[in-house]
Amino acid sequence: MREEPFSVFMGPLSTPGPVLESPCATLPGMSALPAEDDVRFLVHFAQALHDYGSAAHQVEDALAGLARRLNVPAQFLATPTSIIFSFGNLAEQRLQLLRLEPGENDLGRLARTIEVGRAVLHAQLTPAAATARLEAIGAAAPLYGALPTTVAFGLSSAAAARFLGGGGFEVAAAAGIGILVRVLAALCAPFPGMARLLPAVAAALASAAAVGLDHALGTQHYLATVAGIIMLIPGLTLTVACTELANRHLVAGTARLSGAIVTLAMLVVGVALGVKVASSLLGAPPAVLSSALPSWTLVAALIAAPLAFTVLLDAELRDAPWILLTCGLGYGGMQLGARALGPELGAFVGSFIVGLAGTLFGALLRRPTAIVRVPGLLLLVPGSMAFRGATALFDLQMDSGLQIFVRVLLTAVALAAGLLVASVVKPARLFD
């Protein structure tokens, strides 16, 4: 059953999108010339949703619902780098274009933006007052400072090393490399040109540092490198792209998928360059085996990763327990599903559980499901597998590389399918 517009906020990664690429909010009796305050609010609201990590179909559905509520005839087309608005009836439309950088997940700001949209939907705020609130949300400082964010980067890399089967040295090396990547990202942020080169530069430094640690401590440099740059690998982007394609947003999905592939290529080139330079200076890295860690360390990683995601995604601290619970349920469901059905269908089971838990979270607490779904998916996305496939292709191992990429694609599609099925089994509640 098709959900009404604006219910996208109760299921940011799973709500079925419209059949058409440009949902039309035109209804009989609407004014041909919308008020300027209404237009400004819709434009600001669209940019906020985009900047804080919403997918294209979520942005379009939300705008269509608000336009109907405001009695504004409009059509919208969202992509990862732009949003096109068409206001007015067909005979006298006014077009506006926003050229944007791809958004990044900011769950705290997203939640506050959604509250503003809900207030407008229920006539609790005027569009002019809502626009002012959106501007204040955008101007507000991040919830967490530089130090917590840096620590969270190291913590997420350390947890990733444990998930990938690393030993104590690999976990420690990955944590240090993750902190190095975060510091480099902060230094590059003020310079747009350097920020675009961050994946390649960070991967080169990370791999060179991993080779040095391999010589000094006997770590698996490849595992430490992958875990250290794990937050730069676009596994979630691949999953969102498949979700957009499944919702028939072909332009947005294809563009996002292409961007993820280019980012992967930049990471692989950076790692190859770093290994080459470090090996020429220090010698070829020795082949080592990591020591097995006790099982309790996996539980520690399952606690550390969601807490790190809470900080890195700028979620509020009150949501941390729910993020922790959802991540644990999703990871456990994926592991059990993989044992019974295989790895790809295991991903389906995990994402279905994450999607269902997110919908229940939204229904019970009246909070956006993205708060728990995005961190839950981060534990399930095939980021390290995609990087391994790209590395194999770079080394001209075509057969193994293509096989891995097929598995990556199947896993990403399974994740998207799990979320879509969850939205059918337990639809998101509409706003009252």
Q: Which of 104, 139, 174 is the last residue of a domain?
A: 139
Please indicate, yes or no, whether residues 274 and 315 belong to a single structural domain of this protein: yes
User: 84 in a domain, yes or no?
Assistant: yes
Q: Is residue 62 part of a domain?
A: yes
pLDDT band at 33 (very low <50, low <70, confident <90, very high): low
DSSP annotation of 317: G
Asked if the structure places residue 1 within a domain, the reply is no
Closest CA to 61 of 196, 264, 258, 248: 248
Where do runs of H (alpha helix) occur along 197-342?
198-217, 221-228, 235-246, 250-282, 296-312, 320-341
Q: What mean pLDDT, rounded, does the chain reach?
A: 87
User: What domain range includes position 37?
Assistant: 7-139
| 431 domain-assigned | no
Q: Does residue 243 lie in a domain region?
A: yes
Domain match, 339 and 399 both: yes
Q: Are residues 224 and 349 in the same domain?
A: yes
Q: Percent helix, strand and coil across the chain, each rounded to 5? A: 70, 5, 25
Domain boundary among 139, 163, 195: 139
Torsional class of 68: left (φ above 0), alpha (ψ -120 to 50), beta (otherwise): alpha
Q: Tell me the C-alpha distance between 185 and 181, whole Å.
A: 6
Q: Tell me how far CA of residue 13 lies from CA of 17, 73, 351, in angstroms.
A: 10, 27, 10
Q: Both 135 and 150 in a single domain?
A: no
Candidate from 53-62, 65-74, 278-287 with smallest mean pLDDT: 278-287
Question: Are 345 and 383 part of one and the same domain?
Answer: yes
3-class secondary-structure state, position 77 = strand
Instruction: Please check whether residues 230 and 179 belong to one and the same domain.
Output: yes
CA distances from residue 54 to 11, 12, 141 in whole angstroms, order as listed: 11, 7, 20
For range 242-249, the mean pLDDT: 90
Mark whether 157 and 134 lie in a shared domain.
no
Tell me the whole-structure pTM to 2 decimals: 0.86
Q: Report residue 317 as tokens.
A: 């601290």
Structural domain contains residue 2: no
Domain membership flag for residue 432: no
pLDDT in tens, 140-153: 999 999 999 999 99
- pLDDT greater than 90 at residue 9: no
Q: Is residue 426's pLDDT more than 80?
A: no
Label residue 15 by pLDDT band (50, 70, 90).
very low
Q: What is the mean pLDDT of residues 199-217?
A: 92
Residue 401 belongs to some domain of the structure? yes
**Among residues 98, 121, 139, which one ends one of the domains?**
139
Same domain, 107 and 231: no
125 phi-psi bin (left φ>0, alpha ψ -120 to 50, beta other): beta
88 and 157 inside one domain: no
Average pLDDT over residues 398-411: 88
| 164 and 249 both lie in a single domain | yes
Q: Are residues 71 and 169 in the same domain?
A: no
Number of domains in the chain: 2
My answer on whether 129 and 268 are in the same domain is: no
3-state secondary structure of 181: helix
At residue 286, the pLDDT reads 79
